[in-house]
Amino acid sequence: MDSNRAWQSWFEYAENDFSQILADKGSPRFLQTKVLADFRRQSFSQIFAEQIIAMFENDISYIIRGLAFKIHAKIGPGLLESAYEAALAYELKKSGLQVRTQVGLPFQYEDVQLDIGYRVDIIVNELVIIEVKSVETLLDVHYKQLLTYLKLSDKKLGLLINFNTSDINDSIKRIVNKL
């Protein structure tokens, strides 16, 4: 399946899923606002809400995944991590989410706080950590790194995204910490 067809299929799925979320007002995932989106024109980054009262980790990860698909479809594999990180942060901000990049993460050992240079690529709405990669193959150490970041920051959900692939669908990994 070519990337344009995969992209279109994802948007059709997303449109149905959002309709179900909005229809089920008793659901904890209900955003409590009218979400405006034009999935048919594949403009996921134009999703915005008039007033988002509560967004949960899974709702945010859903948006992140869509934007990763969009970026990969536009620019493909082969760039440096920093380029993908900047593009993803831009798209997330454009979607109305709160984004912090290259966030320092201190390490606490017993009574001592050590600022030893750990850096989280992106934190979205203070709930989800994104670790951006552009490598030939994701290694076990990449998963462990993200899980450690989740534990140190006391966050529940992280996404490990490797943009250096021909099929982005297989390169977005969810890592959970007590979720």
| Phi, then psi, of 102 in degrees rounded to 5 | 45, 55
Q: How do residues 153-171 score in pLDDT, each as one tens digit? A: 999 999 999 999 999 999 9
Banded model confidence at residue 118, pLDDT cuts 50, 70, 90: confident
Proportion of the chain above pLDDT 70, given as a percent: 69
Closest CA to 123 of 93, 94, 145, 81: 93
- Cα pseudo-dihedral 13, 14, 15, 16, rounded to 10: 50
Find the mean pLDDT for residues 114-141: 93
pLDDT reading at 47 higher than 90: no
pTM exceeding 0.85 = no
Q: Is 137 helix (H, G, I), strand (E, B) or coil?
A: coil
Arithmetic mean of pLDDT, 33-53: 40
Largest CA distance in the chain: 54
Angstrom distances, CA of residue 157 to CA of 21, 32, 51, 92: 20, 22, 23, 17
Instruction: Give the per-residue pLDDT at 28.
Output: 44
Report residue 170 as tokens. 């297989």
Residue 179: pLDDT band by 50, 70, 90 thresholds?
A: low
- Of 54, 36, 55, nearest in space to 46 by CA: 36
Domain count, the chain: 1
Which tokens sit at 157?
């959900």
Q: Domain of 81?
A: 3-176
Average pLDDT, the chain: 79
Confidence band, pLDDT 50/70/90 cuts, at residue 112: confident
Token pair 């479809």 is at which residue?
73
DSSP string of 122-144, one letter each residue:
EEETTTEEEEEE--SS--HHHHH
